[in-house]
Copies of this chain bind each other. A is one copy, B any other.
Amino acid sequence: MMGVPRVFGCVEAGGTKFVVAIGNDRGEILAHERFPTADPASTLAATNAFLRQRSQALGTLAAIGVGSFGPVELDKTSAQYGVIGKTPKPGWRGTDIAGTFAREFSCPVGFDTDVNAAALAEHRWGAARDVNTLVYLTIGTGIGGGVLVDGVPIHGLMHPEVGHIYPRRHPLDLAFAGVCPFHGDCLEGVAAGPAIVARTGASLERLDESHPQWEIEADYLGQLCAQLVMTVSPQRIVMGGGVMSQERLLPLIRPRLSHWLGGYIDRSECLDGGDHYVVAPELGDRAGVLGALVLAMDAAASAGKC
């Protein structure tokens, strides 16, 4: 086997798309492919075929990492470990996503949520390299967050679901009922992409800079950041996802965070102008698949193969 490089299988299992890749332990992606998330059987079959074919051409598959949409069971002692929970995604509830790869490939499988994976990648190679306690947020078709404490994702009861906290309603937004099927006007229900469309008839990038939606959105996301400062005390908050791709949004959020902290948290890092506290991702849309690579590398290391 000498001279055959060790490679890692990377699976970003998203609710709308799967990104699969082969990477190495220098954080390089050697091959990748993406396809829409269809039914579980065909989606996982396509993933397995990619991993098998492309890894053979590139080296020896040392481990596989999977960052999955959720909710998922992360407790390794549970019979439901690696299984998709109460998702509205048709057909996926009860799918044993981690087990599929463990059965198909005789190598360790690292498994976590998609947002925990992205947080791990931004911590290893991206915008949170220099801190150990951080939150990675994605603001897109939903709102989710991965939380690392001392470099390790919080699991606990299951995993944080920061998109479902309840913000105070913005005074200009009191008539909007919100679109979360569980909570109505939780944060995801008033601030994710579909909420913006439901409220205004358009996505954020199509709205004029003077449209109040910008202020409403920044306020809700500033409240999310403030609640995270109060509960998790992160050293940095990295904000990605489709809604955040509007670059003028981030500078509007920072003063709203400062407003909601109310002068109590006396740290220049998170006050107005604290440009290094609430930041954009550095890995862009590669955070998810690079996070799967971190999970694979960690799984290989835990199995004593590094």
Contact = CB atoms under 8 A, between A and B. Distances in A.
Interface of A: 71, 85-86, 133, 147, 149-150, 152, 154-162, 164-168, 182-183, 186, 223, 226-235, 260, 262-267, 269-270
A227 B235 contact: no
A267 B158 contact: yes
The 4 closest A-B pairs by CB, nearest first: A133-B156, A156-B233, A182-B264, A231-B231
A154 B162 contact: no
Contacts of A264: 86, 161, 164, 182-183
B233 A160 contact: yes
Contact of A231 (B228, B262, B267): B228
A120 to B, nearest CB: 15
Contact of A233 (B158, B165, B230): B158
Contacts of A234: 156-157
A231 B235 contact: no
Contacts of A223: 166
Contact of A149 (B149, B164, B227, B262): B149
A56 to B, nearest CB: 38
Given A165-B230, A227-B227, A232-B232, A157 B269 contact: yes
Question: Would you call the interface of chain A mostly helix, strand, loop, or mixed?
Answer: loop
This protein's copies in its complex:
2
Given A227-B227, A231-B232, A266 B157 contact: no
A232 B156 contact: yes
A133 B147 contact: no
Of the listed residues A147, A231, A263, A270, the one surrounded by the most CB atoms of chain B closer than 10 A to its CB is A231
Given A160-B231, A182-B264, A227-B227, 4 more contacts: A86-B264, A133-B155, A155-B233, A159-B233
B166 A265 contact: no
Contact of A156 (B149, B227, B260): B149
A149 B85 CA distance: 23
Given A156-B235, A168-B166, A161 B227 contact: no
A139 to B, nearest CB: 16
30 contacts: A85-B266, A86-B264, A133-B154, A133-B155, A133-B156, A133-B157, A149-B150, A149-B152, A150-B152, A155-B233, A156-B235, A157-B229, A157-B233, A157-B265, A157-B269, A159-B233, A161-B229, A161-B264, A162-B231, A164-B262, A164-B264, A165-B226, A165-B230, A166-B226, A166-B227, A186-B262, A227-B231, A228-B231, A231-B232, A232-B232
Contacts of A270: 157
Nearest to A163: B230
A160 B266 contact: no
Contacts of A226: 165-166
Contacts of A233: 154-161
Contact of A161 (B157, B161, B168, B230): B230
